[in-house]
Structure 1
């Protein structure tokens, strides 16, 4: 199956965590001053899955959750957003679901992430081997899933099974230093995952990390596109993005907005980008629609609840003056 053919089935198997998000209300409140907190679904893979479903696609999640009230909260939220939780398995013992406590403000923003003994890292080879990959169009994952065992080996096994079923592999580098035992391990493992992926999305720091220096990141992205991946997206924050595909380099800008918070943009970008390709948009339009989804999410509280529906995205694109001019990157 060709990469775009798989994506256009608009039915994704997504490997990675689901967690709980807590954020103080009203927006602008510091965590230490909060008295009212809202709870919703979090976790990069679960957010991406929710974004895809809200935009009209299908998504199933493969992960582990804690066998407690918080784990059940997360599964309930997956059901709420229409994400298939068939392959979400509870694990007992001392494993606990991840928790992200963050603020709806940019200046002085604080995020506190609880990942000690994370339940999602307990995902096993048996969990991913229980999936019928032929039912889906593409596999999606984010780099955090590789940070610890047995999740790391399980995800590489999922890559093998997806490849055997002719599914394209879509990889968001998503490097989170606090999850890894060392930068050296992260560089080796993420580079291995990148070499197996058909579509790779990351920011300049993440590609630079994989290459051994931020000044080498662009060349790393370019090399991956030349050697193994069909699409590589090198994101540069407010400077836009460079997309490499079929020997071409596509430069795109962003949709400037007044951000309420800095979190959730990457997950929403991935959901919007894949949904746009699934809907028949060309590569440039898909990257821009992904950027528009990112802009929408940073302007609202929460991550999964802020992901747009098609009407929200259409309204944003009609009302916004348009993307910024892309900046050249040497």
Structure 2
């Protein structure tokens, strides 16, 4: 296991994975009844990158976008949020950018994701080999990059190149069943990615999925921390998280809020945790910063636009009575 903190503390990340367009109606309104929608940036990797930049770090995205108005919208939004787009490459033909329609409500919440012929799955090994990994401190990705070829092989190649350059690999499991050909393929591929990663973040369902049984997810997280990963964060929703590192288990609570929607929490958690570690904070402080960022995002419309700036996070922590006690 390598030392991950020096790379993270450079606060300069290369992020692999999709950027998409999000569309959402006014808070509380159902998609089918809406006349007006707000459009902004989405996609797990792009959201993480935007969250890092908003909190004061640097991030470059590596992906493919459709060579059309929607793809250009996504590139413009990345630039708006300060994410480097040098390695965001348009692809023509029938490939299309990811589109998400979702609602800012919890009860009856609907999310409709269009991922047919997704442009980001067209990322190639040549795309990731064009990156100078020595420019960055760490690589970050979310599991959807492994769901289809050629993106799967390209992402594993990026892991190899990053590791060869001395970068820690940070992996958000981010299992989305609709993106995969089968659960069996996903279990095998995501487990391989986990074994190549230095920092792994996922929820109890995702670790359970990797283990083949939800009841075995905690043991899977513990085993990864004991063998190949330096840090493993096992998230349990309202019950907080267990972080495994240096042979120890750290339990932390959450910051309860009145949620406006269930989307964006995981991306914001990752951005908040990494930014806190980059600032030199310890693991407990960093995981709680991630939890606070997640709470901020679920209480606001949108994903990337809801990600906090440092003052937003400071104000939230100063005014919130949490976190809850660890379960």
Return the alpha-carbon distance in structure 1 between the equivalents of residues 23 and 233 of structure 2.
30
Whole-angstrom CA distance in 1 between matches of 2:12 and 2:80: 18
Equivalent in the alignment of 1:205: 205
Give matches, 1:124-163, under 5 Å: 124-163=124-163
Please tell me whether the aligned partners of residues 252 and 325 of structure 2 are also in contact (alpha carbons under 8 angstroms): yes
**Paired residue secondary structure (2:292):** helix
Deviation at 1:211, TM superposition (A): 0.3
Q: Deviations over 1:173-225 (max 9, x none)?
A: 00000000000000000000000000000000000000010000000000000
Q: 1:322 Cα shift? A: 1.5
**1:227-238 matched pairs, under 5 angstroms:** 227-238=227-238
- The list of structure 1 runs, each at least 4 consecutive aligned residues, that deviate by more than 2 angstroms after superposition, is none
Q: Does 1:169 align with 2:169?
A: yes
Alignment gaps of 5+ in structure 1: none
Q: CA separation in 2, counterparts of 1:322 and 1:105? A: 23
Q: Which residue of 2 aligns with 1:326?
A: 326
* 1:4 to 2:11 alignment: no
1:211-248 per-residue CA deviation (whole Å, 9 max, x = no partner) reads 01000000000000000000000000000000000000
Report the equivalent of 1:259.
259
In the other structure, the counterpart of 2:299 is 299
Question: What does 1:60-75 correspond to in 2, within 5 Å?
Answer: 60-75=60-75
- Paired residue secondary structure (2:323): coil
Aligned equivalents of 1:94 and 1:275: distance in 2? 37
CA distance in 2, matches of 1:161, 1:321: 44
Matched with 2:50 is 50
Partners of 1:147 and 1:225 in 2: how far apart? 24
Output the CA distance in 2 between the equivalents of 1:312 and 1:203.
Answer: 25
TM alignment of 1:43-122, pairs within 5 A? 43-122=43-122
SS of the equivalent of 2:112 reads: strand
- How far did residue 45 of structure 1 move? 0.2
**TM norm structure 1:** 0.98
Distance in 2 between the 1:263 and 1:160 partners? Answer: 31
Shift of 1:21: 0.1
Distance in structure 2 (CA, Å) of the matches to 1:317 and 1:157: 39
* Kept in 1: contact 2:144–2:176 (CA 8 A): yes
For each residue in 1:21-68, what CA deviation from the matched residue of structure 2 results, as whole angstroms up to 9, or x when unmatched? 00012x000000001100000000000000000000000000000000
1:284 is matched with 284
Deviation of 1:104 (Å): 0.2
Q: Could you tell me which residue of structure 1 aligns to residue 179 of structure 2?
A: 179
SS in 2 for 1:190: helix
Say if 2:5 is the partner of 1:18.
no
Q: Paired residue for 2:222?
A: 222
Q: What is the CA-CA distance between 1:266 and the residue it aligns to?
A: 0.1
Confirm or deny: 8 A CA contact 2:3 2:230 kept in the other structure: no
Residue-pair matches, total:
326
Unpaired stretches in structure 2, ≥5 consecutive residues: none
* SS of aligned partner of 2:171: strand
* Structure 2 contact 121–151 (Cα < 8 Å) conserved: yes
How far residue 2 of structure 1 moved from its aligned partner, in angstroms, is 2.6
